Every structure is written in C-alpha cells, then in structure tokens.
A and B are shown apart, each in its own frame.
Chain A
C-alpha cells in the first residue's frame, strides 16, 4: 500500500496577467522519484516553488499529509523544514563554512543540540563526498561541490520529500556527473524526490514516474517507459524527438 505524502489540487498561479500554472493536479507517494520535464517557460520550476510555498499559489490546495498548506494560517516555516529544496543556484549561505551550512538549520529550526547536528551533518557530507571540505567557504569550492553541499544541507534536515529545481543546469558539463551520481544514490536509498530537470537520461533511468509539462498544464504523465517509448500527446513526442535524435 503506497502512502500518499503530498497532493496538489487545482493549483493555479499567475504572475500579473501571465498565467503560469493552470489547474494542476497531481500526487506524490512515499518513495516516488518523479521527474518533471518540459520546455523552459512551461511552469516546471514555478510548480516546484509553489509546492515549497516560495511562491504563493493564486488558488488551489497543497495537501501535505491531508493538511492544506496553501491556505491562510498554515505554518509555512515548519512545513518547509519537512520539504527540502535544492536550487539551481545552490544558495549556500555565504557567511558560513560548508559544515555550518549543514548545521544551522538543524540547530535553529529542529532545535537539535550542536554535537548531534554536527554528527548528522558529517554523515551526509560524507555521503556526498564533501567531508574533506567541511571548513571551506562556499566561494572556495566548485559549482558541483556547492550543489553536493546543498544536497547534504537539505538531507541533514531529514525531509520527507526533496525537491530539486534544475540542480545541474548551472553547472559546467564535467560537474554534472558528480551531482547526478549523488542524486542517484539518494534515490536508490528510498528518498521521495521531485526533480525538475533537463537530464533526460536521468529521468528515464532513475525516476519511477515522469511528468511532462507544457504551457502551465500537465500534458502527460506515466512511467518512464510509457513517456519515453510510447508518448501519447503530440507535444510530448515533439519535445522528446530532440532528445532521441540529439
């Protein structure tokens, strides 16, 4: 029996007159690794940012364990502590070392004591291969390393879902591999993940569900086999043609 963690119902979002998301419905079960594909401007990132309440939806519900987080009075901060996010631009805290980046949230938000937080942080920094760099500052490490620290920072909060907003798009090609291999490891350990990506091979290989978005709606979704081998919609076929031929 699959346990549902997150359900998005009739979600809409506009920026001014521009309607970016139109009546989105979808659900995330525990252990899902969902890749969200689509052209830029199709609303993928906005959907992810709405789920994390970094953007306020205009209408619709975001049910997290059956509690609506999109309405008035919902505690956004404590909800976000359970929903980790990894950004395209890393967003590591520039005034802290790598280790402090992974500790601060645990201490301030989860109220763990420092020793415990440090042990926990070291566990994940080791997992992403950044243990030798704990005293470096963000400006001293490469983009790929920053993103691995950002993943460790999110994981150290023990989130129930991890959102990835184009985690490899700002990276040099030779750094993409290290981040993807970390993400693949996390996925194989059963983390629930929602990944907005342009890495088709990752979507096809690692995720158990692929969502294809176009013009603010979910155009098609299904298993990677369904989407990549037998897409039903014309727009999906068109989008994937470039990947298959390229």
Chain B
C-alpha cells in the first residue's frame, strides 16, 4: 500500500514541477494529431477519388494513360508510406533533405516537419479507406445517378461521397486516435509533444515510472474523449431514426389483396369471359 502512496507523492512532485510542460505537451500532441488527421484525410480523399475515376475502352488513349499513371503513382505512395515506420519517415525528411541538398532545402521548424510527416502517413492509410468507402457504396446508387443524366463528378459530389464519408467515419476516428498516440515518435526530430515532456521530466528527476504513469493516464484520457466525441458525431450524421408515419396512401393495398388485372376485365382470372386457352377473347 505504501508503494501507491509513494507513487502518489512522486506524481504530485512531478506535477508541481513539470505540470506546465505536461500540459504544453498535451496541447501540442492534440494540435499535431488533429491537423495531421485533417490534412491526411484531404490527401486520402483526393487519392481515393482519383483512384476510382472509371475509364472504358471508349475513352481516348491519353485519358486512359493518365488515369492508369495516377493509379500507379498512388499505389507506390500508399505502399511506401504505409510500409515504413513513421519515426524513420520523420528522420528521412528532417535530416535527409539537408543532407542531400547541402542544407539548401530543409525544414526550418519541427512543427512543419512533424505536420508533413503525420499528414502524408495518415494520407497513405486514408487513401485506401476512402477507396474502400467509395466502392462499398451500392453500384445501384451510381447507376441511379447516371440514369438521370449526372456526370461522374456530379454523381460523386451529390450521391457517392456523402455516403462514403458516413462509411469511413469510424476509419477517420481510428486514424485520429492512432495519431494521438503515434505522434510520440516525433521526439526524434525534437518535437515538443506530450511524450517529449516525459523525456524532459525524467531526464531531470529520474522518476521514470511515476512520469510514465502520468503519460499513460494522459494518453488514455485523450483517446477516450476523442472516441466519445466521434461516437456522438456519427450519431448526429445518422440523423433522427423516428419519422412521422403517414397512413394515407391510397395506392397501397392490404396484404393478400391483389387488384391487377382489373376486376371484370377480360384478363381477370375470376371473370367468366377470361379465356384460359389464350386463343383470343370470348365474344
């Protein structure tokens, strides 16, 4: 029991001394995760939309070539950024650019570098999610839109994307929560996030475990709140499930009744005139 008391005391000590630094870290983590997710989603939507532009044999060869080229480029982008650790991507971009260009091209702020890395990483994951969201919308929706003369762009904007967005909301939430946690690797380029606050605090105080406890509770709180907000947003998107039931529908018939063909017409099976042999009407 006194171990817990000691932990409490240590945390209090850390909090008094480094509270501001922890809070600053939380703020930076949330901003980076949010901005990275939003830009990543934009990249994902652009890739997903470009990836699903249909082409057929009747299109001209130039258009077909470009669409095929776009698909190849997106494929490479997705495979490379989804298949390598974000921590190495950060190093490659932040230290690699000045190395190759003799300091001519480099990131002047860690913020810019961190946002770029998180965005393109999220974009790579979202590209596939968006593509999945678009192709999961019933093809009948596209046909219905085409049949009233909508172009591909009109169909996407008015019919497909609103439904795809609803389908991939859980994925967007997933990515945001992953980003809240995974931005902790940005300490590698010196980004002042929540995890960097931990490193600074333990470097001076040597209270490794108590500080890690603060981090654990902090990260879990952030992700739980994010998760709750996302559920709420999804519920709102689905809209009210109740609606006014209308009873006045003159055309609806009670189950079991069937008024076609019209009663007393020559085609009515109950009519004496109905000719079962089909050799023309009687009379």
B265 contact set on A, CB distance < 8 A: 205
Contact of B278 among A135, A176, A182, A229 (CB under 8 A): A229
> Is B109 interfacial (CB 8 A cutoff)?
no
The bracket for how many chain A residues form the interface is 35 or more
B276 contact set on A, CB distance < 8 A: 244-245
A78 contact set on B, CB distance < 8 A: 149
Which residues from 131 to 177 on chain B have a C-beta closer than 8 Å to any C-beta of chain A?
138, 140-141, 143-151, 154, 158-159, 162-163, 166
Residues A91 and B267 in contact in the complex (CB < 8 Å), given A174-B257, A201-B260: no
A130 contact set on B, CB distance < 8 A: 249
CA distance A182 to B260 in the complex (A): 12
> Is B277 interfacial (CB 8 A cutoff)?
yes
> Is B57 interfacial (CB 8 A cutoff)?
yes
- Most A CB within 10 A of own CB, among B56, B144, B166: B144
The bracket for how many chain B residues form the interface is 35 or more
Min CB distance A238 to B, Å, is 13
> Is B252 interfacial (CB 8 A cutoff)?
yes
A87/B144 in contact, CB under 8 A: yes
Contact of B158 among A79, A91, A108, A240 (CB under 8 A): A108
CA distance A95 to B144 in the complex (A): 13
> Is B203 interfacial (CB 8 A cutoff)?
no
CA distance A240 to B146 in the complex (A): 35
Q: Which residue of A lies closest to B269 (CB)?
A: A201
Contact pattern, B 252-273, Cβ under 8 Å of A = 1, otherwise 0 = 1111111111000101000000
CA distance A243 to B274 in the complex (A): 13
Contact of A154 among B147, B251, B280 (CB under 8 A): B147
B140 contact set on A, CB distance < 8 A: 87, 89-91
> Is A94 interfacial (CB 8 A cutoff)?
yes
> Is A225 interfacial (CB 8 A cutoff)?
yes
CA distance A176 to B259 in the complex (A): 9
A180/B260 in contact, CB under 8 A: yes
CA distance A135 to B243 in the complex (A): 9
CA distance A129 to B248 in the complex (A): 9
Which residues from 72 to 90 on chain A have a C-beta closer than 8 Å to any C-beta of chain B?
72, 76-82, 84-85, 87, 89-90
Q: What are 5 A-B pairs with beta-carbon distances under 8 A?
A: A78-B149, A84-B148, A95-B159, A108-B158, A244-B277
Known: A142-B252, A174-B258. 15 other contacts (CB 8 A): A77-B149, A81-B148, A91-B141, A93-B159, A95-B159, A109-B148, A110-B149, A130-B249, A133-B249, A174-B256, A181-B259, A201-B261, A229-B279, A240-B278, A244-B278
